[in-house]
Structure 1
Amino acid sequence: MEFTLYLDESGDHGLDRIDPGFPVFTLCGIMFSNPGYRQMKECLDNIKHHFWDDKEVIFHSRDIRKCNKEFSVLLDLEVKRQFYEKLNNCLKNGSYRVVSAVIDKIRHVQTYGRIADNPYEIALSFIIERSIFLLDEVKADPKTIKIVIEKRGRKEDQQLASHFEKIKVRGTGFVSRERIQHYDIKIEFRDKKENINGLQVSDLIAYPISNYIMYPERANPAFDLIADKFYLKGGKRYGLKKFP
């Protein structure tokens, strides 16, 4: 059985300059089976066709919130209401699981220093671990995982690919290399311009997760919408972890 894990981020993973107004880095993984992804793709494409008559519109969380670019149509409050109603329906009723990691960069630097491990690599290791836990519970064999990550730059992508290969060869503190290799995990980097709906879902969900971690007492209807999509184990939310 084939699964695809789409990864996108919220915030900057760099440690040199930390924005005190947004001091977290969130890496959000969305796990789809092939049927689940087809359902989500069709749902999102229908929205794009309905409002823009063009499936090439790319959903980007910041542009939607700011009503920028194509999303200037959302300045019309009735259009905005209809858009969010349809989008929320896709996210609420879709068949997927969320596995995400959030790095509090200020505490990370205070604890480990500015030459500490790359927050992106820490988050990726965690997400791979928890994704293995998740799929261990799926009664199907063999199982393959394709990890799709949005391109950031040649150097950054090469560093991340190198870290991924180390995980496959060495395993992690919680998952052995044999257990990882059993899943035949592959990684690929894709451009945002390719209009991949799975990456867009990850982008849309990453921002509410960041807000939930930074301001847990604030109303966060976007997070509440997908709260039951996180990977659970023994009643514990295994699909959301804050570091350190």
Structure 2
Amino acid sequence: MPLFSDYVIYVDESGDHDLTSINEDFPLFVLAFCIFKKSDYVREIVPAIQEFKFRWFGHDMVILHEREIRKQQTPFKFLQNQENRQKFMDELSAIIQGANVTLIASVIDKRSLTRRYASPDNPYHIGLQFCMERTHSFLLEQGQGGKIAHCMFERRGAKEDNILELEFRRIKDRGNYNRINMEELDICFADKRANSSGLQLADLFARPIGLGVLRSGQPNRTREIISEKFRRSPTGKTSGWGLKIFP
């Protein structure tokens, strides 16, 4: 029987990896790895999200999607009321703030990437390597060597998933900066309809991380809360440890 890690990782992205037509409003590709200790996830985070859903919707089948919340689309149309929106966002922010999660993210500036390299690599693959390397280091720091930690990705389609899995396994099998075998990392896919608290939190994190880079001088409560979750160096440094901006 394999030895499983005390941690599980949920992954989501914001933006796309297309380099031929770059959206100037959001010219970034963001990949977020949200690392949870399983005991915290099961006992605290999942119940908090379930209670939140029952309180606001009467059931727990609603999927918390950042885009639908931001655009106040069904089933979030009630957020068009300012009072409802303020209370809803305050409660959701409190859950995020209270969540014991370590965040590792990569932000790829596609404009800079295309200017610097004649034939740039796929932004998704670049970001994936950065996040896998730092996640692997975090797990070793937590004494998780030799224990399998699952990285949970949302399914995007058979072709895309196969390409992603091949790249994940290439990086894992010495295709990384230190040329080491990251035997502790494994990949799993979940259906888009899967009601996973971890995947929903990762979805809520990804875009604000990108906006924090794109509009660094603009204050934003959600981004400030999220920034406290990044993995840090022993001296408290975030850059290069929990957040990798490239190029």
1:193 aligns with 2:198: no
SS in 2 for 1:134: helix
Q: CA deviation at 1:161?
A: 0.4
1:88 aligns with 2:93: yes
Q: CA deviation at 1:135?
A: 1.5
Q: CA deviation at 1:137?
A: 1.6
Decide whether the 8 Å contact of 2:6 with 2:144 is kept in 1: no
2:56 corresponding residue in structure 1: 51
2:220 corresponding residue in structure 1: 220
Change in 2 beyond 3 A, CA 1:144/1:2: farther
For 1:148, which of 142, 147, 152 is the aligned residue?
Answer: 152
Change in 2 beyond 3 A, CA 1:175/1:95: farther
2:26 corresponding residue in structure 1: 22
Q: CA deviation at 1:4?
A: 1.2
1:75 corresponding residue in structure 2: 80
RMSD: 1.4
1:242 corresponding residue in structure 2: 245
SS in 1 for 2:33: strand
In structure 2, list runs of 5 or more residues that go unmatched.
none
* Deviation string, structure 1 residues 1-54 (Cα, Å, up to 9, x no partner): 331111111111111110111100101110011112122111111111101011
Measured in 2, the distance between the counterparts of 1:151 and 1:49 equals: 26
Measured in 2, the distance between the counterparts of 1:142 and 1:33 equals: 16
Q: CA deviation at 1:175?
A: 5.2
* Deviation string, structure 1 residues 77-108 (Cα, Å, up to 9, x no partner): 22222211211111001111000000000111
Q: CA deviation at 1:140?
A: 5.1
Fraction of identical pairs, as percent:
34
In structure 1, list runs of 5 or more residues that go unmatched.
none
Q: CA deviation at 1:142?
A: 4.7
Decide whether the 8 Å contact of 1:67 with 1:73 is kept in 2: yes
Structure whose residues are more often helix by fraction: 1
2:204 corresponding residue in structure 1: 204
Which shifted more, 159-168 or 77-86?
77-86
TM-score where L is the length of structure 2: 0.92
1:129 corresponding residue in structure 2: 133
Decide whether the 8 Å contact of 1:3 with 1:143 is kept in 2: no
Residue type of the partner of 1:81? Q
TM-score where L is the length of structure 1: 0.93
SS in 1 for 2:106: strand
Decide whether the 8 Å contact of 1:8 with 1:29 is kept in 2: yes
